[in-house]
Each structure stands twice: as structure tokens, then as C-alpha cells.
Amino acid sequence: MPRQVSKTAWKGCAAVVRRVNWSMMKAIQTAFFDAKPYDREMFEMVNRGYGIELKYFDDHLNADTVPIAAGADAICLFVNDAVPRKVAEALAAQGVRLIALRCAGYNNVDLKAVYQRIHVVHVPAYSPFAVAEHAAALLLTLNRKTHKAYSRTRDGNFSINGLMGFDLHGKTAGVVGMGKIGRVMSGILRGFGMRVLAFDPFPDAAFAQASGCTYTDLPTLYREADIITLHCPLTPDNVQMINAETIAQMKNGVVVINTGRGKLIDTRALIHGLKSCKIGAAGLDVYEEETDYFFEDRSSAVIGDDVLARLMTFPNVLITSHQAFFTREAMANIAQTTLGNIRAFFEQGELPHEICYRCGEAACLRKATGKCF
């Protein structure tokens, strides 16, 4: 039976602790990076059923902070913790055996560098509804300008000048990446009465027939879509897939929504498209260089990133701080799956949600052995 963790045992173990005497502890020792108050609250609650030793640190994992993990069995990371080769080597030398990502995306880990050294697990799905609903919220806000209306009416300004939107009904949406989130999003968009074009390297004809969406190629999607929403992972092949060349292929006034990953968009090209009015609006939950800003309170600091600062000046750009996943249900699922992943690895030697750089390849060992190596 998993042990209960007493709250007092953890008092004082927060961010300032730099080195921890892990050897004094018996349970699975996990260094939890980039811990926010809402992470601690949810993980502490769910961990009552798992009894894993969690040490929370405010810091992001990077080459400077990697010593924090010395002696830990596992580390728990989020989207802006980075594991390039140098960090992977340091972690392996320190004896870390498992990287437990508490997110779906894994582009922040050099999977080749950790292969054969540290296993990597992630949370493949926690609530595709959370992310798709947020993408829809960005679209609706930008189109009907409710962000502006909110400020206006609170200020006693009841004018509707400049707030005109367009009917989504009858328009064409382009969904890039028809996985769990893309499929939920396509259902929402179909619910608005939109025609949905989808691009995915692995089209699913049965899903297309059942859902009423149409798989197509990217040039057609760019040419015909009134709104384009990105729901694919970031891979070496699609870095800055939205760039000057692809923006030029799009409809005038196209609305671009990105809840995928920031690097899917060349932000400078997006800004150019916004300035020329080629792009009608952009809803961004992710940003190319988000690491220094997103999830942090920078309200009393000067923004040193000129690209982000310029983006924030547009009235038709809505930026949210990588919060698409952030619902109660998703957070509970994330904690449950992450702690389950850690315990399964150390107690049963199982890796139900392992990933490696060969996933999907014919040579993938996981199909045969259940593990990536």
C-alpha cells in the first residue's frame, strides 16, 4: 500500500533547498522542477495515494540548476524545463533514472541524448477538451472582441464601434494535427457549422467520415481556411511551419490560433502579416521564446524581448500564458498519470507512457519489449 505523506515532513522543503540528503529517505525520491503553487496543491493531494517523496523547486531545470537533482531517483519536469545533451549527461552521472514529464509534449528533452541512460515518460492525454476549449475561447474572443467589450462596458463605454465580428457558421476552419486535441477542436468547430479541413501526416478516413471533416494537404488548407488552428507536436520537420512563405498562401484576414508549440510559428513573419493586415487576428497560447516569461509574474519588469513586446501592441492579438491545459480535470489527470508513471517504473519496472526518439519507427523496441531500451 502506498504510504501517506505527512504535511509536516515537508515543511520547509520548498524552493530554497539546493541540496537534499536523499539517502535518508526510503521512498522514491523525485525532484520536482518549476513547481508552482497549483502544482504543489494538486500533486500533494493526489500523492496521498502514492507516497512518493516529492521535493519541490521553483527553478527551471537547466545546466545551472541540474545539481539540485543530485541523488534523486526521478525528476519531474514541465514544458519549460530543458534537457539538452549537457543536462542529460549530468543527470545520468547523478544517477537519475527517470524523467517524468508532467505534460504531453516532449520537444524540450533531447531524446537521443537520454537514450540508453534515462527513461522518459510523459502524460499522453489529460484533457484534450481543456486545450481545444481554450483554442475555441481564443477564436471567439478575437472574433467577437469580448476582451475589448469587457473593458469598455466596465469603463461606462457602451459603444459597439469597432467590435464587429463575422459568423463562424459557413466559414472554413483548417485544423493542423488531427490527434486527440485536433479531433475535439474539429468537433467544436463543426458544432459552429463550419467546414473543417484537416492536415495530418496520418489521415484517418473513418474519423473523417464520422466527423464530417475533410483531410487535405497543407497548401489547400492554407488557401481555403478562414481560421487556422495548430494542434500538432513540434518536430524537427515543422519548426516555423507558419512563416512568410506559408502566410503568403493564406486568405486575407485569416485568423491564426496556436495552442500547439511556439516554435511552430516564425513570430517575426506573423508580426509582418499582422502589420500588413494579411493576418486578421492571432490567438497565441504559446510563443517561440516563452521560457523567460510564460508562467511567471513579470508585471513589474521591463519586457526585454522586442518581438513579444511588439506582438503585445496589436489590438487583434490575444496572448495567453500557456494556460490551455489549465483546468481542474486536466491538472488532476496530470498528477495522477505522472505519479502513476513514476511508481510503475520503480515498483513494477513498467513504462506505460515511455517515449524515445525511435517511437513510431519500425525499429522501435517498445512494440516488442514494452520498453524503449
Q: Name the residue among 166, 199, 173, 117 with its Cα closest to residue 372.
A: 117
**Nearer Cβ to ligand NAI, position 94 or 327?**
327
**Nearer Cβ to ligand NAI, position 178 or 281?**
178
Interaction of residue 203 with ligand NAI, rule CB under 6 A? no
Helix (H, G, I), strand (E, B) or coil at 201: coil
Output the smallest distance, CB 126 to ligand NAI, in A.
8
Percent helix, strand and coil across the chain, each to the nearest 5: 35, 15, 50
268 is a catalytic site residue: no
97 is a catalytic site residue: no
Interaction of residue 213 with ligand NAI, rule CB under 6 A? no
Q: Name the residue among 44, 76, 83 with its Cα closest to residue 62.
A: 83
DSSP structural state of residue 123: -
DSSP structural state of residue 337: H
Q: Name the residue among 273, 305, 268, 310 with its Cα closest to residue 289.
A: 305
Element (H, E) at 8: none
CB 262 within 8 A of CB 287: yes
Strand 354-355, strand 172-176: pairing: unpaired
Q: Which of 231, 261, 343, 353 is catalytic?
A: 261
Q: What nine digits make up the cell of 161? A: 464601434
* Interface map 120-159 toward ligand NAI (x if CB under 6 A): -----x--x--x----------------------------
Alpha-carbon distance values, 303 to 109, 152, 296, 300, 307 (Å): 27, 26, 12, 9, 10
Q: What nine digits make up the cell of 77? A: 519536469
* Interface map 60-99 toward ligand NAI (x if CB under 6 A): ----------------------------------------
Interaction of residue 105 with ligand NAI, rule CB under 6 A? yes
* Interface map 269-308 toward ligand NAI (x if CB under 6 A): ----------------xx----------------------
- Candidates 71, 174, 177, 262: give the one binding ligand NAI (CB under 6 A): 177
Q: Name the residue among 181, 180, 280, 178 with its Cα closest to residue 221.
A: 178
Interaction of residue 260 with ligand NAI, rule CB under 6 A? yes
Contacting range for ligand NAI; rule: CB under 6 A; set: 63-71, 140-148, 235-243, 273-281: 235-243
Q: Which of 53, 288, 290, 354 is catalytic?
A: 290
Interaction of residue 174 with ligand NAI, rule CB under 6 A? no
322 is a catalytic site residue: yes
Catalytic residue annotation: 261, 290, 322
Residues engaged in binding ligand NAI (CB under 6 A): 104-105, 125, 128, 131, 176-182, 199-202, 231-235, 237-238, 259-261, 285-286, 322, 324-325
